[in-house]
Amino acid sequence: MVRFIARRLLETIPVLLIIITATFFMIRSVPGGPFTTERAVSPEVLKNLNAYYGLDRPVHEQYGRYLWNLTPKAFAPQRLFSGDGFDLKAAFGIDLGYSTKYTNRTINEIVAAKLPVSLELGAWSLLVALGVGLPLGILAAVRRNTWMDYAASSFSMLGICVPTFVLGPLFVLIFAIHLGWFASSGWYFPADRVLPALTLGLVYVAYIARLTRGGFLEVLNQDYIRTARAKGAGELRVVFRHALRGGLLPVVSYLGPAIAGIVSGSFVIETIFQIPGLGREFVSSAFNRDQPLVIGTVLLYAVLIIGLNLLVDIVQVWLNPRLKFE
């Protein structure tokens, strides 16, 4: 396992370098700049701003300087969540720079304030996806070719066909405006988590339910399941004691892409429901040409997704002993 993790971490370095390079030059190829506004600033002020943020230097020099700031210069993981919150500079000496929109605010400070909200939204959405998708898939597999199976499959197909940017406004129209059960926007009370988490999680309920059904149907036809039933084991014991571990393998394999989709899907959900998370901040930074915040957010999400995929691979090997870390 140690060799596997070390190899994956080494493979991460060129991947992150490609992501940083592509994002850096793409954001600088967009017409306009971070100080392009409806009310033009004077040439002297614009010159000082560009000099302060280093935008007056050649692009290759800006790129080299940014890579140098991202290079770890310390190793103190215990300081990652010390002080005001998530602090990469204090823990590893990584400097993401200053925002060009928020005066005198570092990218590290913005991430520390916004990232917990996005992580909470993702956690609730994943809980909805697993909490609804797994029981539906197991029920459909155990009651194969019955009305329960058809109902679960139909619900799954509906979740696949309806995207989040359609489902979100529909939920707002029904449950917030007409019924008045929940607020249409905000992130202040526990009830404010319900509609965003349902909107983002229900899309992945469909995939998880279908994968669970397929995995359990394959496992329930195995010889050791027939042996367990022949020995008098009840249906609940067969499903949750003998078939659960093997039946969940397709779902565990899918969790990596699912988490990546939930993370990227939060951009849309946070915008629809006006949630003060990092995804909404990323969308605003793209419109405002806030180059340091765009690159820092992309890099952070890339590291987060790569780390979660690594964790999913480890869990998959633990569930299936036939797989090896090699």
Domain count along the chain = 2
- Do 232 and 190 belong together in one domain? yes
- Look at residue 325 and tell me if it is in a domain: no
Amino acid 112: pLDDT: 79
Same domain, 100 and 113: no
Do both 36 and 137 map to the same domain?
no
Each residue's pLDDT tens digit, 12-21: 888 888 888 8
Per-residue pLDDT averaged across 192-206, rounded?
85
Q: Which domain holds residue 92?
A: 2-107
- pLDDT at 324 (0 to 100): 62
* Mean per-residue pLDDT, 167-184: 84
Boundary-marking domain end, from 107, 123, 158 = 107
Which of 57, 90, 107 represents a domain boundary (last residue)? 107
The model's pTM is 0.76
Q: Cα-atom radius of gyration of the chain, to the nearest Å?
A: 24
